[in-house]
């Protein structure tokens, strides 16, 4: 076995190139905690700009096929990129782009050649941001139960109406990747379809939801998600991906990736900052990290983050070495979610109420522990609750149902 990528001289050169480029193009201010709504928006625009620059180099979606505007890089180069971006506390993309990540992967597998050519380049180049729209008031864990948002064929297009909730973050989106019901009387799993549409179409309105936290992807802890309303929104037929009423098949790819099937390499950022905080914060003259109770808590937390890293590494390896997977995707997701929730208690016990405040004097730097206290809870739900992850695991292990369920396809045309 080999738990590390062995880099060639050429790859090390690439690393140096990436690092130099990032140092030149990532301003430290991009990582600031916004001081106001306007500042938040300005910061967002800076990150989008960075995304476009990364996209132009093929580094925004490094392993995506070059012919559609992706980087076309092999996995080793992609790892180098992820590692280097990680050094700046950023992810790829450096802003919330859920529909871009998951929609593009789905389109790669299930879209027509024309759709790939039309939809993928703007995503891969960072020209558009895309949000995914799945949940409805009546369909959360039960995604197959989507019913409130419908698309009805009308001439050369479709008319969408309905409502989606828990969408995106703040500062709006360019594109929408959504699942709707296209046959209200149809059988379960045979009545859904996916659309990739413009967010600016007439009839689409958004209204922010105020939440305890967002638990979102790297950096976007705006505390806001949107309710999106569709009032007879006309979309072209071309926007339908994977075929009418074939949406559940497409969803298997989408969900496999969302459920952790793709794996992940890289360290746990909360851990790094937590350790540093405990080393730098003294109580009664002694660093927290030198107090036995705190040390014991830190050891438990560290081990869980390490196991999570190892699960992510394994899934990453299985994905890119194209090895068969079964329960590993939802296992990573389940482990990550339950660990995050458990960590809220472990950190609170270790650090005390300082973990709860964003106060610059008495809380942890940039309130990162307070964010963890919220997001450790909130993250348990998006992309499938812990309960749903266990449903998936059990099916793939081959218990609970008469036939063993397979992992969704995550490799597309290349």
Partner 1 sequence: MDLSLTESQEMLRTTARSFMQRETPVDVVVGLQKAESSLERDLWAKAARLGWLGIVLPAEYGGSGDSLSDAAVLYEELGRGPLPGPFFSSGVLGALTVLEAGTDEQRRRILPGVATGETVLTVAITEPNTSWGPGGITLAPQGRNGSFVLNGTKLFVSDATSATDLIVAVRTGDGPTDVSLLHVDAKARGVSTRRLPGFLSWQCEVSFDNVQVPATSLLGEAQRGWAALSRALERAIPILCAYIVGGCQAVYEKSVLYTQTRVQFGVPIGRFQRVQDHVVRLVNHLDSARWATWEALWKLDTGRPATASVHMAKAVASEAYLDVCNAAHEVHAGMGVLIEYGLPAHTQMSRTLFHYLGDPRWHKRRMADALEW
Q: How far is the CB of 345 from partner 1 (least distance, A)?
A: 6
Q: Which residue, 152 or 313, has its beta carbon nearer to partner 1?
A: 313
Q: Which residue, 240 or 356, has its beta carbon nearer to partner 1?
A: 356
Going 102 to 103 to 104 to 107, the CA torsion angle's sign is positive
Work out the angle at residue 101's Cα, subtended by the Cα atoms of residues 159 and 378, and round it to the nearest 5 degrees.
90
Q: Which residue, 235 or 356, has its beta carbon nearer to partner 1?
A: 356
Q: How far is the CB of 212 from partner 1 (least distance, A)?
A: 4
Q: How far is the CB of 54 from partner 1 (least distance, A)?
A: 24
Q: How far is the CB of 327 from partner 1 (least distance, A)?
A: 7
Q: Which residue, 20 or 37, has its beta carbon nearer to partner 1?
A: 37
Nearest to 340 by CA among 294, 386, 299: 386
Q: How far is the CB of 89 from partner 1 (least distance, A)?
A: 21
Q: Which residue, 159 or 275, has its beta carbon nearer to partner 1?
A: 275
Burial of residue 24 (number of CB atoms within 10 Å: 0-12, 13-18, 19+): exposed
Work out the angle at residue 154's Cα, subtended by the Cα atoms of residues 148 and 155, and round it to the nearest 5 degrees.
160
Q: Which residue, 40 or 344, has its beta carbon nearer to partner 1?
A: 344
Beta pairing partners, 302: none
Rounded to whole angstroms, the Cα distance separating 69 from 336 reads: 32
Burial of residue 299 (number of CB atoms within 10 Å: 0-12, 13-18, 19+): exposed
Q: How far is the CB of 40 from partner 1 (least distance, A)?
A: 17
Q: Which residue, 344 or 409, has its beta carbon nearer to partner 1?
A: 344
Tokens representing 334? 């389940």
Q: Is 154 helix (H, G, I), strand (E, B) or coil?
A: strand
Nearest to 251 by CA among 149, 168, 177, 151: 177
Q: How far is the CB of 396 from partner 1 (least distance, A)?
A: 10
Q: Which residue, 104 or 319, has its beta carbon nearer to partner 1?
A: 319
Rounded to whole angstroms, the Cα distance separating 183 from 334 reads: 32
Q: How far is the CB of 352 from partner 1 (least distance, A)?
A: 4
Burial of residue 23 (number of CB atoms within 10 Å: 0-12, 13-18, 19+): exposed
Other beta carbons less than 10 A from residue 140's beta carbon = 17
- Kind of pairing between the strands at 192-198 and 240-241: antiparallel
- Kind of pairing between the strands at 175-181 and 157-167: unpaired
Q: How far is the CB of 141 from partner 1 (least distance, A)?
A: 5
Q: Which residue, 26 or 278, has its beta carbon nearer to partner 1?
A: 278
């Amino acid at each position: 076995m080999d738990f590390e990528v062995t880099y060639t001289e050429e790859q090390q050169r690439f690393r140096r190139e990436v690092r130099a480029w990032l140092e030149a193009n990532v301003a430290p201010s991009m990582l600031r905690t916004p001081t106001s709504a306007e500042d938040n928006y300005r910061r967002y625009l800076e990150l989008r700009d960075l995304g476009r620059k990364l996209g132009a180099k093929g580094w925004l979606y490094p392993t995506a096929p070059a012919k559609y505007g992706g980087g076309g890089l092999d996995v080793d180069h992609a790892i180098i990129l992820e590692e280097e971006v990680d050094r700046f506390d950023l992810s790829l993309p450096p802003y919330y782009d859920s529909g871009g990540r998951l929609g593009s992967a789905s389109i790669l597998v299930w879209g027509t050649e024309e759709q790939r050519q039309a939809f993928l380049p703007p995503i891969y180049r960072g020209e558009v941001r895309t949000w995914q729209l799945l949940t409805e008031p009546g369909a959360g864990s039960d995604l197959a139960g989507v019913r409130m948002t419908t698309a009805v064929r009308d001439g050369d297009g479709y008319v969408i109406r309905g409502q989606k909730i828990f969408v995106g973050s703040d500062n709006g989106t360019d594109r929408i990747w959504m699942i709707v019901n296209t046959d209200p009387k149809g059988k379960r799993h045979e009545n859904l379809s996916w659309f990739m549409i413009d967010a600016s179409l007439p009839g689409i309105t958004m209204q922010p939801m105020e939440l305890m936290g967002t638990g979102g992807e790297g950096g976007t802890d705006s505390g806001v998600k949107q309710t999106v309303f569709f009032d007879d929104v006309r979309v072209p037929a071309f926007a339908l991906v994977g075929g009418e009423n074939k949406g559940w098949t497409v969803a298997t790819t989408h969900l496999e990736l969302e459920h952790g099937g793709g794996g992940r390499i890289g360290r746990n950022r909360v851990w790094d900052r937590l350790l540093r905080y405990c080393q730098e914060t003294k109580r009664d003259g002694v660093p927290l990290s030198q107090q036995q109770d705190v040390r014991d808590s830190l050891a438990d937390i560290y081990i869980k983050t390490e196991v999570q890293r190892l699960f992510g590494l394994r899934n990453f390896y299985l994905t890119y070495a194209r090895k068969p997977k079964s329960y590993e995707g939802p296992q990573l997701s389940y482990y990550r979610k339950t660990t995050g929730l458990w960590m809220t208690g472990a950190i609170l016990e270790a650090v005390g109420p300082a973990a709860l405040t964003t106060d610059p004097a008495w809380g942890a730097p940039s309130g990162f522990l307070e964010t963890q206290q919220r997001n450790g809870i909130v993250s348990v739900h998006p992309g499938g609750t812990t309960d749903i992850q266990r449903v998936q695991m059990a099916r793939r292990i081959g218990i609970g149902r008469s036939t063993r369920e397979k992992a969704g396809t995550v490799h597309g045309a290349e």
